[in-house]
Amino acid sequence: MNEARIQKTTAEDLLGKLIGYDSVSDQSNESISRFVADMLEDLGFRIEWHTFKDANGTTKVSIVGKRQGMGNSAGTTHQGGVVYMAHTDVVPVEDWYTGFSGPFEATLRNERIYGRGSCDMKGSLAAALKAASKISESNQIAPIYFIVTADEEVGMKGAKQVDRESDWFKEMIENDTVGIVGEPTELRVVHAHKGAQGYIVRAKGISAHTSTSEGVNANYQLIPALGPLLEQRNESESNPKYRNSDFDPSTLSWNMVLINEPTAINVTTSQAEAQIFIRPMPGVDHSPLEIAVKRIAADHGLELIGKDGVSPWGVSPSSEWVQTMLRLTGETTSQTVCYATDGGVLQRLKRLLVCGPGSIEQAHRKDEWIALDQLHRGVELYERAFREWAC
Of 45, 42, 46, nearest in space to 8 by CA: 42
Give the nearest residue (CB) to Zn ion. Answer: 120
120 binds Zn ion (CB under 5 A): yes
Is 11 in contact with 130 (CB distance < 8 Å)? yes
Shortest Cβ 340–Zn ion spacing (Å)? 9
Query: What does the radius of gyration of the chain's CA atoms come to, in whole angstroms?
Result: 23
Residue 294 sits at φ, ψ, to 5 deg, of -60, -45
Q: Report 356-385 residues binding Zn ion (CB under 5 A).
A: none
Shortest Cβ 121–Zn ion spacing (Å)? 4
Shortest Cβ 286–Zn ion spacing (Å)? 23
End-to-end CA distance of the chain: 25
State whether residue 52 is helix, strand or coil. Answer: strand
- Listing DSSP states for 62-94 in one string gives EEEEEE--SS--TT-S-TT-EEEEEE--B---T
Q: Report 160-189 residues binding Zn ion (CB under 5 A).
A: 183
Angle at 226 between CA 220 and CA 261, to 5 degrees: 50
290 binds Zn ion (CB under 5 A): no
**Cis before residue 249, ω within 30 degrees of 0?**
yes
Of 374, 389, 372, 375, nearest in space to 328 by CA: 389
> Which segment (10-18, 120-128, 160-168, 261-269) binds Zn ion by CB under 5 A?
120-128
> Which segment (3-11, 89-97, 116-124, 210-218) binds Zn ion by CB under 5 A?
116-124
> Which segment (58-66, 118-126, 242-250, 319-327) binds Zn ion by CB under 5 A?
118-126
Q: Report 76-95 residues binding Zn ion (CB under 5 A).
A: none
Residue 281 sits at φ, ψ, to 5 deg, of -125, 150
Q: How far apart are CA 234 and CA 25, in angstroms?
A: 33
> Which segment (43-51, 96-104, 113-121, 348-356) binds Zn ion by CB under 5 A?
113-121
Shortest Cβ 152–Zn ion spacing (Å)? 6
Number of residues that bind Zn ion (CB under 5 A): 3
342 binds Zn ion (CB under 5 A): no
Shortest Cβ 335–Zn ion spacing (Å)? 16
> Which segment (40-48, 119-127, 143-151, 223-231) binds Zn ion by CB under 5 A?
119-127
Among 11, 37, 82, 121, which residue sits at the site for Zn ion (rule: CB under 5 A)? 121
Q: How far apart are CA 57 and CA 75, in angstroms?
A: 49
Residues that bind Zn ion (CB under 5 A): 120-121, 183
